[in-house]
Structure 1
Amino acid sequence: MFSWDQYFSTAAAGLLGLIILILASFQIGRRPRNYPPGPPTLPLLGNIHLIPGRDPQFQFQKWAQQYGPIYSLILGTKTMIVLSSDIVIKDLLDKRSAIYSDRPDSYIGQTLSSGGYRLGFMRYGPLWRMFRKMIHALLNVKISRSYIPYQMLENKQMMNEMLEQPKEFLKHLRRYSASLTTNIVFGWRSPTFEDPKLMQLFNGVAKFTELNRVGTSALMDFYPVLRWLPDFLSPIKRLAKRNHEVEHALYVGHWLDTKTAIRNKTARPCFCVNLAKCQEEEPFSDSQAAYISGTLLEAGSETTANTLYSFIQAMIVFPEVQAKAQSEIDRIVGSSRGPTIDDEKDLQYIRAIAKEALRWMPTTMLGAFPHAVTQDDEYNGYKIPKGAWIIQNTYGIHMDATRHPNPREFNPERYIEDFQTSSESAANPDGTKRDHFIFGAGRRICPGMHVADASLFLAIARLLWGFDIRPVKDVDGKNIIPDTNLYTQGFTVMPLEFQADIRPRDEARAEIIRQEWREAEGLLDKETKQWKDVPQRMPFSVV
């Protein structure tokens, strides 16, 4: 039977619920008083409307100057804590790494685009620790020295390519970096930039980066309710799922090819061979294994090439650095041979150039991926809430004039007394003594930094030994100087494309470059351009 009392009671309850919902919604986007300071917020939005679609590092740097070394951004239902000083990063990401090593939930980047498998986005836990342990065994400081034969061969090919096609220098840098990584991970090298396997990788990374730039993908994380939109109303969800299908097929294909080669006893010793043996002892899926190896390939192919590209730009803009570097190389090495890794200890100015290149143009401006904190924490009187995104403001730290005077000047003298490797510097208990922050911090620090250090040193030293790097000239004969503040967009960045005039310093050095490559080619199969025999002392299991 109908009851007015029941009707009004139900209506009142509904109205009360609506009022509570409205009031609660107005709390979204507000910054609690005990959080780190930050820019003013708007209801529901917080600070989302203030995040630039391009070059966010410039705005993050301005906020650091305004609000200090730790500030907060309120992004819809999420809180982002931005760390903008060496001391704060040491205190939180390093010293409190037990609670600052998680990753935020990434719906587009991890769930839809990666099937939950991408190592860089993987949540902190037993599975991540297991894979991290495997990767450390592959890339630790002792083992990384055994990759020098791979690095030298790829470097000799790159030098010869620079000689023959100097205008295509970006392609040569990317092939150099990527081929070393495919050697280590899959056991095969990439003899040309146009190698179909390599092009698939670069195309896939470009699509993934474009899909996950700040924008709609981030909104799905800031307002999780948007994830319930059907695919026909959410184009980005359709694109992410399609991207995952293509990427999954590529990575699994590489992985299964390795397993087939293992069964046929034709596999080259490489990381995937070791990974296959681990799979027998601690079962994990082929999809998981494929993404571990595939994302290792992504990481190793991008940062080194991008840093070398910025180094070449710096040599154009700061010719006095190039002249001083070549003087050191000529004094220590001479003109009758190219530098080797054994010269590193005597070429401190070249080591300083490598460090300055990493500082001057950080390829991960705001850290590769955010960290997340697993429990409420307190720092300097501020509350850092459980689940907050933790951003390492790499660009802001590198461009802090109190840490690096005249930060946009490429000045290797900053590091002339710094004899630490990147790993030793990151482990220094005094955060102010750290050289740069390009490899991250805490338990999520890049495990490949030892290999990257060697690849950068060899490339920089040998390029400066063999070539002069100059600006190209316009039709009036004036130098075209690239703008050093223009960058590409994405997780990893580099300078916008520019031209360079790269020429051998003299014909004698040019002939040495040709001869070194001819001798190196003797180690390769004439048809496939793959290694005939694996160099000795490689740190992999033998099939």
Structure 2
Amino acid sequence: MLPVSLLAAIVVVAVIVAKLMTIGRRPKNYPPGPPTLPILGNLHQMPKRDAHLQFTKWAREYGPVYSLILGTKTMVVLSSGEAVKSLLDKKSGIYSHRQEMYIGQELCSGGLRMLMMEYGPKWRMFRKMVHGLLNIASAKSYVPYQVLENKQMLYEFLTKPDEFLYSIRRYSNALTTTMVFGWRSATYDDPKMQQLFDGFSEFAELNQQGTAAIVDFFPILRRLPDFLLPARAKAKELHKHEKALYLGHWKKAKQDIRNNTIKPCFCVGMYESQKSEGFSDEQAAYISGTLLEAGSDTTSSTLYAFVQAMLLYPDVQKRAQAEIDRVVGENRMPTMEDERNLQYIRAIMKESLRWMPTTILGAVPHAVTQDDNYKGYLIPKGAGVINNVWGIHQDEKRYPNPRTFNPDRYMEDFQSLGEAAANPDASKRDQFTFGAGRRICPGIHVAERSLFLGISRTLWAFNIEPATDAAGKPIIPDPERLTQGFVCMPEEFPAKITPRSKAKANLVTEEWREAEAECLDASQQWKINPIKGKGDEKSVMC
């Protein structure tokens, strides 16, 4: 007969083994998904790059709602507009949480990044503040900023066309710094802008690595020493530099507010909120800093995708230019007042967002705060929920021939981006790039105007054609080659951007020179307040 102590030890070991063997298994009442392995679940099947292709392949195999078992955690993937509307929108009260992200939120962000912040009173307060300061009325007031930055972008297309990607990035970054902090990035060489783009790329890369996922899905690994978890030290170092950058921006804005020298911007409202709500400078810095990230990266990526589409679909470009010529003419550039008469341009904007979505897998997964049921399946409390934007946008039934860039899909869609996102009929939503539910991008109204002005004015002034190699052969980019990370864009490609006429080239130059003289000081910062007094003549000229 075995001693009692040995028998007890055997029982304990058996219980532990049995418990371990349940890790990685998919319970029968969960949404279906690919076969799992003990402990790992589906971790061994997670792709190292182009995850959107595998996620969409699984959607075709297992249906629009399927599950992945990732170590100790569950991930549910939504690949239909109906599922996104039913869960992330209609049940946003329980689907707006985030799973714990040790590398991304705790180490890289000091727990301060609103994008990754857990759903709760603090996040709701910040969300209310951000939406109040970036609502549709505020978005309209920022149009003078967008017009000026657009004029510089067009002038740079004219004078240094080979650097068009840099000009697009400067356009979106300068616009965002002005709207958030009240100052503009006058050149692409601005070291703070370089640090922003480089830092966010590093952040995205670090959080896409297997280490970040494994540590999240097996929390016990966080106890490992630093030499066995090098991502920890890298994340802390990234946070140190990022925090210094964002704090510098915020503290300068606060000083400008106190000196009454700041231009109208988001930080003015946040300064007042900080006085009433009492949140820290570090938190304010991360709220404003991550708005800067979002506004700089997503708009520029979509405009870059638009340029690629014009290379690949010259007939679309010609039709768009014909519409602009008919509505606007030769002697002036398109304005926001022309939007209602430029439906094909609006359709190109929407198709660019659908054809090459920047948040290809919905950026950061949502999480559900309580058990829920959908079409007979259990979605367990704590499960992550991915908005598979690419998969929805590749749905043949919703978008026939989805890899074809076809603006005609939207010729009868007169909704704004915000109206389409809020439409209770899931089939009437135009695209899913800006997210869903309470986590939808608060800058959607600003982005719509930036994209419309960028697309319409570029097509008014320029022809976009393939560059040629040394042998004179056109260089045609591959639209399936995308960068990796939270925010995607086409891999870098060359293009030939030339003015459509000498008269248009002259007007591009005149418009920028006039705006520069009237609106900017010697340091290329705003010398007037273009938002104060809508009837101010200088505001219109800028």
Aligned to 1:440: 435
Residue 84 (structure 2) aligned to one of 86, 89, 93: 89
Report the counterpart of residue 170 of structure 2 in structure 1: 175
Distance 2:259 2:400 in 1: 58
Q: Bigger CA drift: 528-537 or 510-519?
A: 528-537
Amino acid at match of 2:55: F
Extract unaligned runs of 5+ from structure 2: 535-542
Q: 1:370 aligns with which of 362, 365, 370?
A: 365
Which residue of 1 is the match for residue 538 of structure 2?
none
Per-residue displacement from partner, 1:184-210 (whole Å, max 9, x unpaired)?
111001110111221121121111111
Match runs of 1:467-486 below 5 Å: 467-486=462-481
- The 8 Å contact of residues 147 and 538 in structure 1, kept in 2 or not, is answered as no
- Whichever residue aligns with residue 399 of structure 2, its letter is H
Corresponding residue to 2:484 among 475, 486, 489: 489
Displacement of 1:476: 2.8
Contact 1:470 1:501 in 2 (8 A): yes
Note if contact 2:133-2:269 (Cα within 8 Å) is conserved in structure 1.
no
Number of the residue aligned with 1:327: 322
Query: 1:77 maps to which residue?
Result: 72
Map Cα deviations across residues 447-493 of structure 1 (whole Å, 9 max, x no partner).
10000000000000000000000001223322111001000000001
Distance 1:239 1:362 in 2: 29
One-letter amino acid matched to 1:261: D
Alpha-carbon distance in 2 for matches of 1:522, 1:419: 37
1:40 aligns with 2:24: no
**CA–CA distance in 1 between the matches of 2:337 and 2:307?**
23
Assess if the C-alpha contact under 8 Å between 1:36 and 1:72 holds in 2. Answer: yes
2:409 is matched with 414
Contact 1:34–1:383 (CA<8 Å) still a contact in 2? yes
* 1:242 maps to amino acid: E
CA-to-aligned-CA distance 1:409-460 (integer Å, 9 cap, x gap): 0000000000001110011111011100000000101110000000000000
TM superposition shift of 1:248: 1.0
Contact 2:182–2:263 (Cα < 8 Å) also in 1: yes
Aligned 8 A contact 1:94 1:442 in 2:
yes
The range that moved more, 195-204 or 83-92, is 195-204
User: How far, CA to CA, are the matches of 2:277 and 2:473 in structure 1?
Assistant: 63
Instruction: Give the number of equivalent residue pairs.
Output: 534
Which residue, 235, 241, 248 being the options, matches 1:246?
A: 241
Counterparts of residues 363-402 of structure 1 (less than 5 Å): 363-402=358-397
Whether the aligned pair in 1 keeps the contact of 2:520 and 2:528 (CA below 8 Å) is no
- 1:313 partnered with 2:308: yes
Shift of 1:323: 0.5
Question: 1:234-263: CA deviations, max 9, x gaps?
Answer: 100010111111111111121122222333
Q: 1:538 to 1:209 in 2, by over 3 A?
A: farther
Quote the offset at 1:109 in angstroms: 0.2
Q: 1:234: which partner in 2?
A: 229
Amino acid in the other structure paired with 2:234: L
Q: Partners of 2:8 and 2:106 in 1: how far apart?
A: 38
Match of 1:510 among 498, 505, 509: 505
Provide the residue aligned with 1:133 in structure 2.
128
Q: 1:279-290 to 2 correspondence within 5 Å?
A: 279-290=274-285
Per-residue CA deviations over 1:2-47 (Å, capped at 9, x if unaligned) read xxx9x93333222211111111111111000000000000111111
> What is the rounded CA distance, in whole Å, between the counterparts of 1:334 and 1:264 in structure 2?
44
Cα distance between partner residues in 2 of 1:21 and 1:523: 74
CA contact (8 A) 2:264 2:531 kept: no
Q: 1:49 aligns with which of 44, 52, 76?
A: 44
Return the letter of the residue paired with 1:405. Answer: P
Query: TM-score scaled by structure 1?
Result: 0.97
Amino acid at match of 1:401: E
Contact 2:142 2:531 (8 Å CA) reproduced: no
CA contact (8 A) 1:146 1:537 kept: no
Let me know the Cα RMSD of the aligned residues: 1.3
Q: Quick one: distance in 1 between partners of 2:411 and 2:69?
A: 41
Q: Which residue of 2 aligns with 1:20?
A: 15
Structure 2 Cα separation of the partners of residues 82 and 273 of structure 1: 39
Partner amino acid, structure 1, of 2:452: F
- Identical aligned pairs, as a percentage? 60
Q: Please, what TM-score do these two structures have when normalized by structure 2?
A: 0.97
Q: Deviation at 1:230?
A: 1.4
Match of residue 151, structure 1, among 140, 146, 158: 146
Task: Work out whether residues 113 and 286 of structure 2, in 8 Å CA contact, stay in contact via their aligned partners in 1.
Answer: yes
Q: Could you give the per-residue CA deviations for residues 108-160 of structure 1, whole angstroms, max 9, x where no partner exists?
A: 00000000000000011111111111111111112211111000000000000
Q: CA deviation at 1:538?
A: 8.3
- What is the CA–CA distance in structure 2 between the aligned matches of 1:8 and 1:161, rounded to whole Å? 84
From 163, 180, 184, the counterpart of 1:185: 180
Structure 1 unaligned regions, length at least 5? none
Contact 1:466 1:504 in 2 (8 A): yes
Q: Quick one: which amino acid aligns to residue 280 of structure 1?
A: K
The match for 1:431 is 426
For structure 1, which segment, 198-207 or 77-86, has the greater mean C-alpha deviation from structure 2 after superposition? 198-207
Q: 1:201 aligns with which of 196, 199, 205?
A: 196
Measure the CA separation in 1 of the matches of 2:454 and 2:355.
17
Letter in 2 for 1:190: S
State the one-letter code of the partner of 1:382: Y
Q: Report the equivalent of 1:259.
A: 254
